[in-house]
Amino acid sequence: MTEIENALRELSTDAPDHIYANVMAGTGLWDEYAVFSGPTEPVYVAWNPRGVTACVPVSVVGDDGTFEERHPRPARLAEAVPGSVATPLGRALETGRLGRLSVDIGALGEFQQKVLRKCAEIPPGEIRPYGWIASEIGNPGAVRAVGTALGRNPIPILIPCHRVVRTDGRIGNYAYGPQMKWDLLESEGLDPTAIEVQARRGIRYLGSDTTHIYCFPTCSHARRITDHHRVGFRTADDAEQSGYRACLVCRPAA
Amino acid sequence: METIITDLRIALARDVDTAFPELVRARQHSVYSGVLRIVRNPHDAADITQDTFIRAYRALSGYDPQRIRELKLEGWLWTIAVNLCRNRGRSRAPVPSEIPDRADPRTGTEDEALERAGRLVWEDRLAALPAPQRTAVVLRHVVGLSYDEIASATSRPVGTTKTDVHRGIARLRKMLEAEAA
């Protein structure tokens, strides 16, 4: 009896090391990460079962060790990228839209979440001023706070804070330096130099003298206006007083 | 061991995310050992062990603190594991145990080789038991669960569980006697 029981007790063994790490990744208590090709350079992307938690250009962090150190949660290099992440992530990086990709920003403050979700609505190849996000989320006075929230965007590029520019229309600053913001906008077909020139001339809105609708200059509807029907405005009030109404798509009235 | 589990339950009731890694560290070896002896294949055993904890985490995340404090953690964890073993058994023909457990006996010291050979013999004897007896014997004597815990893990009455363990042990003894004869 005891001989059998002892022999059976001897059959207990240690679990292989990878079990603990796999459980931590599988529950989402740890993030996993890998390098993917981004719009202008490779990017580190981290995720857990709730969604993507970080996106950082490789040139900013350098190597895996530094990425893990700076990542706010425990993370391990993924052995394989699950299709549920790889497919929507690949598409998001390629098209510049989140699409079906989930992002895990639930731990951030409510205000910052609102700002980031609104920012993610800006289509690739278009830009909006900080003030637009502030008024769209029902906080027209919080322009600076919007700037701060975007400056701490944990998932830049995928949540396109590079598409948010100064209220005077100039490109402005970026967490990884203004040059990267220019490069990203250029990769989406915009001409940052032309945008700056237009901003310096004080043109913040464009209207069509046939439809009498005014837009942000990069709105897809504004870009369809032919040269000799295009009218520039300095303020929304100027446009309204000239009998123009705000575009329903880019909602420039703010 | 009982104190560790009680403390864990309190910690889990307070905050699942903080306490859960401790639960995995404290229980991964016993869950893996038991599952390995039930399903035999190390690869399947690792998968089932991982799955057990991931499912446990999802469930715990949805429980209110009172429910977690009252949970019979050990039996509950094994309910998940036993179910997964059963499902695996259904979807797959039994596989003989293989590498790395049946590793080349020439590696390591002579003692290690002997030990390994001894374990293999016991694995084969266990494998010869009918599934309910094997599961009950493994949970009782490899993992060290109480009859109550085994009963709740296997969703069988306590009496039946005791019978399974005793019949399993008796059968193993007969095998030993037959081998000696």
* ipTM, two decimals: 0.84
Q: Which residue from A156, A40, A158, A31 is spatially nearest to A88, judged by alpha carbons? A: A158
Answer whether residue B11 is part of any domain.
yes
pLDDT value at residue B101: 46
Domain carrying residue B11: 1-93
CB B174 within 8 A of CB B97: no
Answer whether residue B70 is part of any domain.
yes
Which tens digits make up the pLDDT trace of A58-94? 999 989 999 999 999 999 999 889 999 999 999 999 9
CB A207 within 8 A of CB A180: no
Answer whether residue B143 is part of any domain.
yes
pTM for this one?
A: 0.79
Domain boundary among B64, B93, B122: B93
Chain A: give the shortest CA distance to residue B7, in Å.
Answer: 20
The span from the CA of A221 to the CA of A250, in Å, is 9
Answer whether residue B102 is part of any domain.
no
Chain B: give the shortest CA distance to residue A75, in Å.
Answer: 14
Which tens digits make up the pLDDT trace of A186-195? 999 999 999 9
Same structural domain, B88 and B116: no
Residue from A1, A12, A18 whose CB has the most chain B CBs within 10 Å, to mutate: A12
**DSSP string for residues in chain B:** -HHHHHHHHHHHHH-HHHHHHHHHHHHHHHHHHHHHHHH--HHHHHHHHHHHHHHHHHHHHHS-HHHHHT--HHHHHHHHHHHHHHHHHHHS------TTTT--TTSS-HHHHHHHHHHHHHHHHHHTS-HHHHHHHIIIIII---HHHHHHHHTS-HHHHHHHHHHHHHHHHHHHHHHH-
Mean pLDDT of A216-226: 92
Answer whether residue B105 is part of any domain.
no
CB contact under 8 A, A9 and B142: yes
For residue B146, is pLDDT > 50?
A: yes
Q: For a pLDDT cut of 90, what percent of chain B falls above it?
A: 69
Q: Which CATH class is domain A18-95?
A: alpha beta
Active site (annotated) includes residue A161: yes
Average pLDDT in chain B:
87
The span from the CA of A77 to the CA of A67, in Å, is 10
CB B46 within 8 A of CB A19: yes
Which tens digits make up the pLDDT trace of B46-61? 999 999 999 999 999 9
Interface residues of chain B, partner chain A, Cβ below 8 Å: 17, 20-21, 24-25, 28-34, 36-37, 42, 46, 49-50, 53-54, 57-58, 118-119, 122-123, 126, 137-138, 141-144, 169, 172-173, 176
pLDDT value at residue B120: 83
Answer whether residue B20 is part of any domain.
yes
The span from the CA of A147 to the CA of A131, in Å, is 9
Q: Where are the domains of chain A?
A: 18-95, 203-254
pLDDT value at residue B113: 75
- CATH value at residue B11: 1.10.1740.10
Under CATH, domain A203-254 is a member of which superfamily?
Answer: DNA Methylphosphotriester Repair Domain (3.40.10.10)
pLDDT value at residue A79: 87
Which tens digits make up the pLDDT trace of B99-119? 444 445 455 677 777 777 778
Domain boundary among B93, B118, B142: B93
Chain A: give the shortest CA distance to residue B141, in Å.
Answer: 6
Mean pLDDT of A4-24: 92
Which tens digits make up the pLDDT trace of A45-59? 999 999 999 999 999
Answer whether residue B99 is part of any domain.
no
Domain boundary among B93, B120, B148: B93
Please give the residue of chain A at the shortest CA–CA distance from B37. A11
Average pLDDT in chain A:
94
pLDDT level of residue B121 (50, 70, 90 thresholds): confident
Which tens digits make up the pLDDT trace of A129-168? 999 999 999 999 999 999 999 999 999 999 999 999 998 8
Chain A CB contacts of B122 below 8 Å: 7-8, 10-11
CB A99 within 8 A of CB A214: no
The SS3 of residue A213 is: strand
Answer whether residue B44 is part of any domain.
yes
- Any residues with CB less than 8 A from the CB of B24 and at least 6 apart, and which? A20, A23, A24, B53
pLDDT value at residue B115: 75
Q: Which of residues 146-175 of A touch B (CB under 8 A)?
A: none
The span from the CA of B63 to the CA of A223, in Å, is 54
Q: Which residue from A58, A49, A123, A48 is spatially nearest to A92, judged by alpha carbons? A: A123
How many domains would you assign to chain B?
Answer: 2
For residue A116, is pLDDT > 90?
A: yes
